[in-house]
Structure 1
Amino acid sequence: MGEIRIPRNMFLWSMTIVYMLAFASLYVQIPGLYGNDGVSPVRPVVPGASRDWGKPLLEQLQTPPLLLGLDTQQLMELLSLLGVLLALGAATLAPLRDSVVFLALWALYLSLCQVGGDFLSLPWDNLLLEAGFLTVLIAPLNLLRNQSFRHHDALTFWLARWLLFRLTFSSGVAKLVGYSASWRDLSAVASELESQDNPTPLAWWALQLPSWLLQLAAVGVLLAQIAVPFLYFAPIRCLRLGAFYIQLAHQVVSMLTSNLSILHLLSLALSFSLLDNEHVGSWLGHPKRRKTKTWGQALVWALTLVVELGVYVLIAYAAVLLFQLQIDWEARSVSSKTAFSFQQFENLLRQVMVPSIWVGVLSLTWELVTSMLGCVCVRGCFWKLCSLVQWLVFGAAAVALFTVTMVPYTSMERASGSRVLLEVRRAHSLVERYKLVSSYAVDPAPPSHGGRIEVALEGSMDRTTWKEIQWMYKPGSMDAAAPLVALYEPRLDRQMLLAARGRAERIPWFTGLVLRILQGKKDVERLLQTDQSQYVFSKAPPTYLRARLYHFTRPDENGSSPKQWWRRVYDEDFYPIVQLGDITLEDLLSRHGLKEMLSARPTPSPDSPLARALKQARGHVEALPGPLVQWSLLATVLAVCLLKSLLSRTLGGRKSKAAPPETKAKKPKEQAPQAEKATAGAGLKAERDYTEERRQEADRSPRKRK
C-alpha cells in the first residue's frame, strides 16, 4: 500500500456523517419507540440502587447523583442530541476528527443500543459500533500536537479493510448456505427487488428486465461478495483498485433500487481502505508525474499486467464453470445455472476457510513489519522510541482485534469454528456486550414463493367497517409508489417486515403497538404518519383493531409506468380482533410482562432548565418527517464545507498576489553578476557600432575621393 493519508481522512469524514445521520434518525423516533407513551417505554432504575459500573452510560445516568433532572425519554434525547452535535462539529471541523471525539460518539451510541432492545439491534447497528470502535484507533490524537510520527496509520487502517472483507464475504456465503434456494437457482435478485426493506420506484423498472439478465445479475452479486473480497489483500495495487470499483458499483446499484441507507454509507466508507493517495489524487486532478521506465521496471510492469489479466480471466473462467454461462446468439441472451450442490459448496467453504484466515495473517504481518521499519528509520533516539511505543500499542490492539474476530468469522462453517482456541472464545465473550466484533449476514432472506409478506393494521369503530392504517415508509396502497426514504431508518417499519415472518404472540412490542394505537397516543401515531391529516384515525382512535397478513407482488405490466405498483392477496390473520379491556389483549400484555409497564401512569416530567430546553427542541422537530431532518443536517455540513473551500481559495489567491514584490527585490541581488556581464556586452557592441559608422563617414568625405 502507498500513502493512505487522504483515504484515511475520507474514511474519518464519512464516519462523522454516518454518526450524525444515525443519531438524528433515532432522535426523531425516540418518543414513539421509547417514550412514556411509546411502543416499548424504557423505565428508569429504582432510585437508591447501587451503581453498577458495568452497565451502559444511560442506565448509570438514571441513578443518583447523575440524574440531571431528566426522565428516561429525555435522557435518550439528550444522548442523541449530543451525538448529533459532536458528529456535526467533527464533519465541519477537521481538528475535531479526533480519537477522543470518536470514542465519545461510540460510547453514546453503545449506551443507546444496549437499552434499545429489538429496535436497535439491526445488523447495521452492530456494524456501526464495530466500525466506530476501529475509528477510535484510526483517528489521530490531536491532543498530542506533534503528529509527524504516525507510522502505525497503515496498520490501524488495515483493520477497516479486514472488516470490509468479513462483511462482504460473510454476506455472500450466507446467501448460499443459510438462505432459501432462491440464490442457488439464481432467482433471488428478482425476489429481492420485491421483498427488500425499502424498494424504490426504480425497482419496478428493474423487474421489467429479462429474466436471464436478472439471473446474470445474481451471478455478479455472488462473485462480487465471494470471489472479489480476496482481492482486498492482493499485493498488486491495480487488483485492489479493481475490487474497490466492483464494490462501488454493487453499492450504487443497491442504492438505486433499495434507497440509500446507512448500511450503504458504512460499506462505502470501509471501501476507502482499498485506496491510496496517488489514486485519490488522480480524482482531484493531481495525477502523479510519469517517469521514464528503465528496462527492468518495464519488465516488472509487463509481468504485473499479465498477472492482473490472469486473475480476472481466472474469475471469469470460474464463473463460466460454476454457473454454466452460455451465450445464445440467436436469442441474444446468456443462460446461467448453478453447477454445484449445497453440499459441494459447504465442502468448498470448509477448504477455503483456513486459507482465508492465513491470507489475513500474512497481510497483517506485512503491515506490522512495514510499520516497524518506518519507526526504526525515524531520526532522533527520543522520537524513534516514541514511534516504537506507538507501534507496539497499536500493533497489539490490531492483533488482539484480529484474533477475536475469528469467533464470528468462523461461525459460518462449523468445523472451522470448533477449532478456535478456548482462550479466544473467552476473550470474545468478554467484549461481546460492547459490540466490538460481530457476525454479518446483512441481506434478509427473500420469501421462497417470491414477493413480500406485509402486516396490515386495520381499525374499526363498529367492528363492521374496517379501515386500513397507511404507513409512511412501507408498502400499503396498491396505487402508491414505494416512498423515497434515503438515509432514514424507519425502525418500526423495519421491525414490522421482520415480524411478518414470525408470530405476533411471540413479539412483545407488537402488542404494545396495538395498545398505543387503541389509546390514541400521538407519539406512536407520528411514527405511522407525520401528517395527521393522512392518518385515518386522527380525530378519534379506533375502538377495535386487528392485523392481517398480505402477500405483495409486483403486477405483470409493460409500459413506461405501472397502473398499479403492487398487487396483494390476503394470506391469514396475524393478530386477533381486540379492544381496550379485552380479555385477549390483557392476557397478551400479562404474558409479555407489559401490563404494568404500559398501563402505569408515567411520572411527571421534570421542570429543570435542561428539561425545558429539550422540550423546546422536540417541539421544533416533532412535526417534521425524519428524512427532512437528516437532509437538512447534511445540507448544512455540505454548505459549511463548500464555504470553507471557497474562503481558502480566496485567501490563497490573495497571498499569491502579495508574494511577487518580495521575489522582485531578491532577483537583482541574486542576478547581479549576470546583469554586469550583460551591461559589459552591450557596451562593447555599442563601441563597435560607433567605430563602423566613423569608418563609413570617412569613406564618403571629399578628401578621400581626391
Structure 2
Amino acid sequence: MNPILIYDGRCGFCVIWVDYWRQLTGERVAYAPSQEAGWRYPEISPDEFKRSVWLIDADGKRASGAEAVFRLMAHLPGKSWPLWLYEHVPAVALVSELCYRFIAQHRSFFYRVTRLLPQITGLIGERGILPENQYLDAVRSEYGGRPYWLFPTLAWLSPGDALLHGMAWAGIALAGMLVVGILPMASVIGLYVLYLSVDTIGQAFFSFQWDALLLEAGFAATLVTPFGLWPAFHKPTSRIGICVLRFLVFRLMLESGMVKLLSGDPTWRGLTALNFHYETQPLPTPIAWYAHHLSAPFQKLCVIGVFAVELAVPFLFLMPRRLRITGAWITIVFQLLIALTGNYTFFNLLAIVLCISLFDDQYLQGLLRIRGFERSRGPAPRRWRWVTIPVGVVLIGLGLLQLLTMLGIPRTIPEPVSSINFQAETFHIINRYGLFAVMTTSRPEIIIEGSEDGQEWKAYEFKFKPGDVNRSLPWVAPYQPRLDWQMWFAALSSYQDAPWFSNLAVRLLEGSPDVLGLLQKNPFPDKPPRFIRAVVYDYHFSDSPTRRSTGALWTRRYLGSYFPAVNLRQ
C-alpha cells in the first residue's frame, strides 16, 4: 500500500501543488481530498484537514504540515535531504512549521504566486521547453566567457531549477517588504535585478512588451523611492523622477498610436480593426464575444476613439494640472475598457499605476479622502540630487530618442549616444512600445494531439487558450499563461519560425511533469504517447443563434497539418 496525501480539496492553493506533486511522484504516492477520504481517519478533525496537508504512510504513521511535505519529497530521487535536515538539525523543524503555518494562513495570497513557480520550471527549467542552462551554454559558446553585459542575469551564478525557485521566492519576499515599506529602495532595486535576470533567460516566453515596461518602470521607480529602513513616504520626492514616470506613460500611449499609423495596416487606416480584434486577440474575455457582435459603424467610432486616446490625449500629460489630470482619467478608463474585453496580463494594471504619477498629492488627498495625508513640500534631499537629476535627464533623453527614431529622425546616431542607448536597451532601462501595429484578421489555432498507434489521436487541452469550442472564455489577467500566449503567436506562422515548438513536442513525448503542468488536460495520464502531431483550425466566434442552440462560443474549420507526426526516435 502506498502512502496517501490528504488535502483540502476546496483550497485552490492546495490543488495546484497537489497536481504538481502528483506528476512528480506518479504512483509512488496516492492523493485524495479530505472531503472524500477524511472519513477514513476520524482521529483527524475536519478543521485539522483545513489547516494543513496530512501524509499517511503505509504503516499508518501520520505527519502534517511541513513534515508531511518533506516526507512526500523523500519519495523523489535525491530529494530526501530536506527531511534529514528537518529531523536532525536544530531549529529547522520549528522554522519550517512556522513558515508552513504562515503560508497556510495567507494561502489566498500565495495562490496567485504559486501559479507562477510551476510555470517557470515548465517553460525554462531543467526539464522545461527552453531550459535556461542550455541557453546560457549556447550564449557562452557563441560569445565566449560570460558576457554579463550582453545577457545580464543572476542565473550565471548557478543555472538550474533551484536558482529559478530561489529568485521567485526572493521576489515575493522583496515585494512584501515594499508593500509594508521596509527598505523600499533596496526592495525596488532587488526586484528590478530579479525580474531582469528571469527576463534575460526567459527567451521567447519573456519577450512581451509588458515585461519590458515593467523593467523600465521599475528602474524609473528608483528615482522616486525613499531610502532608509522604514522611511516616511510623505517626504519630498524627486521631481525629475516624477517627470521620468510621466514621460514614460506619455511614450507608452503615443508610441502605441504611432505604430498603428506607421505600419500602413489597412484595417487601422480603414477604421475596421475592431471588426477583427475581439475575435482574433490572444485570450478574449467573456465580454469579447458581445463586443465582437456590435455594429460596424459603432466599431469604426471606437477605432476613432482609440486614435484620439493614443495620439492626442498623451499631450495632455504635458499640460497644466487640470488638463493633465483629465488626460490621466481618460487613459485609465481606456485601460479598463481594454481589460474588460481582453486578458492582457498585468499590462493594463501597470499602465494605470503609471497614470497615478500624473496626479499630485493635493488631488490624491481629495480623491482618497485620507486624513493625516501630508503633502510633500520642497525638493528632494540635496544629497541625492546629484544622482537623480543626471540619471533622469539621461532617461528622458533616451526616451525622446526612441520617439524620434520611430519617425526616422535622426537618420544616424552619434557613436557615444548609440552605445549608451544599446546598453540601456539591453537592461530594458529604455524600450520601444506599440501593441497591435498590424491587426490580425483571422484566428488560426493549433491543436496538439498524441497517439499510441499513429491512427487514433487524442487532443491535449490548454488551460486558457481556445480549444474545445464549448468551453467558456476565461478571466485570467493579471496572471499570464505564457505558453498559451506563445501558442497564439506560433499559429500565425510555421513551426520552423517557433523553434521552441519542437522542444514542446519532445517534452510531451517524454512526459515531462513540469511541461504537463502547463496544460489543462493530459489525455495520456498513465504513460506518454508514442507519437505527437499538431493540426491547425480556423476559429471564429459563433453567432447568437448558434450559441443559443448549442452553447458553443466558437465555430472552427480544419485547415491542415501544422507539425508532422513525430516520435522520440526521429
Q: Aligned-pair distance for 1:59?
A: 3.3
Q: Work out whether 1:131 is the aligned partner of 2:254.
A: no
Q: Work out whether 1:261 is the aligned partner of 2:345.
A: yes
Q: 1:137, 1:23 → 2: CA distance?
A: 27
Query: Partner of 2:436 in structure 1?
Result: 443
Query: Partner of 2:12 in structure 1?
Result: none
Q: Among residues 542, 560, 566, which one is paired with 1:572 in the alignment?
A: 560
Q: 1:162, 1:411 → 2: CA distance?
A: 16
Kindly provide the amino acid, as one letter, of the partner of residue 29 in structure 1.
Q
- After the TM superposition, which residues 498-509 of structure 1 pair with which residues of structure 2 at under 5 Å, given as runs? 498-509=489-500
Q: Aligned-pair distance for 1:277?
A: 2.0
Q: Aligned-pair distance for 1:486?
A: 2.2
Q: Among residues 422, 425, 433, which one is paired with 1:432 in the alignment?
A: 425
- After the TM superposition, which residues 354-433 of structure 1 pair with which residues of structure 2 at under 5 Å, given as runs? 374=378, 387-414=381-408, 416-418=409-411, 420-433=413-426
On the 8 A contact 2:152/2:427 being kept in 1, the answer is no
On the 8 A contact 1:183/1:218 being kept in 2, the answer is yes
- After the TM superposition, which residues 9-28 of structure 1 pair with which residues of structure 2 at under 5 Å, given as runs? 26-28=116-118
Report SS of the residue matched to 2:539: strand
Q: Work out whether 1:548 is the aligned partner of 2:535.
A: yes
Q: Count how many residue pairs are aligned between Structure 1 and Structure 2.
A: 451
Higher RCO structure (Cα 8 Å, ≥6 apart)? 1
Report SS of the residue matched to 2:161: helix
Report SS of the residue matched to 1:580: coil
Report SS of the residue matched to 1:492: helix
On the 8 A contact 2:546/2:552 being kept in 1, the answer is no
On the 8 A contact 2:181/2:231 being kept in 1, the answer is no
Kindly provide the amino acid, as one letter, of the partner of residue 559 in structure 2.
D
Q: 2:419, 2:145 → 1: CA distance?
A: 28
On the 8 A contact 2:125/2:131 being kept in 1, the answer is yes
Q: Work out whether 1:31 is the aligned partner of 2:25.
A: no
Report SS of the residue matched to 1:489: coil
- After the TM superposition, which residues 250-649 of structure 1 pair with which residues of structure 2 at under 5 Å, given as runs? 250-259=334-343, 261-285=345-369, 374=378, 387-414=381-408, 416-418=409-411, 420-443=413-436, 445-447=438-440, 450-529=441-520, 534-557=521-544, 563-582=551-570
Q: 1:387 to 1:166 in 2, by over 3 A?
A: same
Q: Aligned-pair distance for 1:153?
A: 2.1
Structure whose alpha-carbon radius of gyration is higher: 1
Q: Aligned-pair distance for 1:193?
A: 0.3
Provide Cα deviations, 1:247-280, integer angstroms capped at 9, x if missing partner.
1111111111113621111101100011112222
On the 8 A contact 1:22/1:262 being kept in 2, the answer is no
Q: 1:527, 1:406 → 2: CA distance?
A: 40
Provide Cα deviations, 1:113-143, integer angstroms capped at 9, x if missing partner.
1111111111111111100101111111125
Q: 1:424, 1:472 → 2: CA distance?
A: 45
Query: Partner of 1:219 in structure 2?
Result: 304
Report SS of the residue matched to 1:36: coil
Q: 2:522, 2:400 → 1: CA distance?
A: 49
On the 8 A contact 1:200/1:259 being kept in 2, the answer is yes
- After the TM superposition, which residues 86-97 of structure 1 pair with which residues of structure 2 at under 5 Å, given as runs? 86-91=174-179, 93-96=180-183
On the 8 A contact 1:52/1:60 being kept in 2, the answer is no
On the 8 A contact 2:249/2:351 being kept in 1, the answer is yes
Provide Cα deviations, 1:421-468, integer angstroms capped at 9, x if missing partner.
443222112322111101011336332xx3312111122222222222
Q: Work out whether 1:43 is the aligned partner of 2:120.
A: no
Q: 1:393, 1:106 → 2: CA distance?
A: 18
Q: 1:166 to 1:52 in 2, by over 3 A?
A: closer
Q: 1:417, 1:568 → 2: CA distance?
A: 47
Q: Aligned-pair distance for 1:78?
A: 0.5
Q: Aligned-pair distance for 1:53?
A: 5.6
Identify, as 1 or 2, the structure richer in helix: 1
Query: Partner of 2:260 in structure 1?
Result: 175
On the 8 A contact 1:24/1:81 being kept in 2, the answer is no
Q: 1:192, 1:51 → 2: CA distance?
A: 43
Q: 1:558, 1:477 → 2: CA distance?
A: 19
Q: 1:542 to 1:142 in 2, by over 3 A?
A: same
Report SS of the residue matched to 1:268: helix
Report SS of the residue matched to 2:523: coil
Kindly provide the amino acid, as one letter, of the partner of residue 527 in structure 2.
A
Q: 2:123, 2:530 → 1: CA distance?
A: 22
Q: 1:465, 1:112 → 2: CA distance?
A: 40
Report SS of the residue matched to 2:269: coil
Runs of 5+ unmatched residues, structure 2: 1-108
Q: Work out whether 1:73 is the aligned partner of 2:177.
A: no
Q: 2:217, 2:456 → 1: CA distance?
A: 50
Alignment TM-score, normalising by the size of structure 2: 0.73
Q: Among residues 199, 216, 227, which one is paired with 1:113 in the alignment?
A: 199
Q: 2:115, 2:248 → 1: CA distance?
A: 24
Q: 1:431 to 1:489 in 2, by over 3 A?
A: same
Provide Cα deviations, 1:10-63, integer angstroms capped at 9, x if missing partner.
xxxxxxxxx99997654231221122221111227789x97766463423322x
Q: 1:286, 1:581 → 2: CA distance?
A: 67
Runs of 5+ unmatched residues, structure 1: 1-18, 63-70, 289-370, 376-385, 583-706
Q: 1:452 to 1:411 in 2, by over 3 A?
A: farther
Q: 1:101 to 1:520 in 2, by over 3 A?
A: same
Provide Cα deviations, 1:336-365, integer angstroms capped at 9, x if missing partner.
xxxxxxxxxxxxxxxxxxxxxxxxxxxxxx
Alignment TM-score, normalising by the size of structure 1: 0.60
On the 8 A contact 2:153/2:200 being kept in 1, the answer is no
Q: Aligned-pair distance for 1:544?
A: 1.7
Greater Cα shift, 211-220 or 257-266: 257-266
Query: Partner of 2:285 in structure 1?
Result: 200
> Percent of aligned pairs with the same residue?
31
Report SS of the residue matched to 1:249: helix
Report SS of the residue matched to 1:486: coil
On the 8 A contact 2:259/2:437 being kept in 1, the answer is no
Q: 2:456, 2:381 → 1: CA distance?
A: 75
Query: Partner of 1:58 in structure 2?
Result: 154
Q: 1:453 to 1:470 in 2, by over 3 A?
A: same
Kindly provide the amino acid, as one letter, of the partner of residue 311 in structure 2.
I
Q: Aligned-pair distance for 1:413?
A: 1.4
Kindly provide the amino acid, as one letter, of the partner of residue 181 in structure 2.
A
Kindly provide the amino acid, as one letter, of the partner of residue 39 in structure 1.
I
Q: 1:426 to 1:204 in 2, by over 3 A?
A: same
Q: 1:32, 1:53 → 2: CA distance?
A: 25
Q: 1:503 to 1:246 in 2, by over 3 A?
A: same
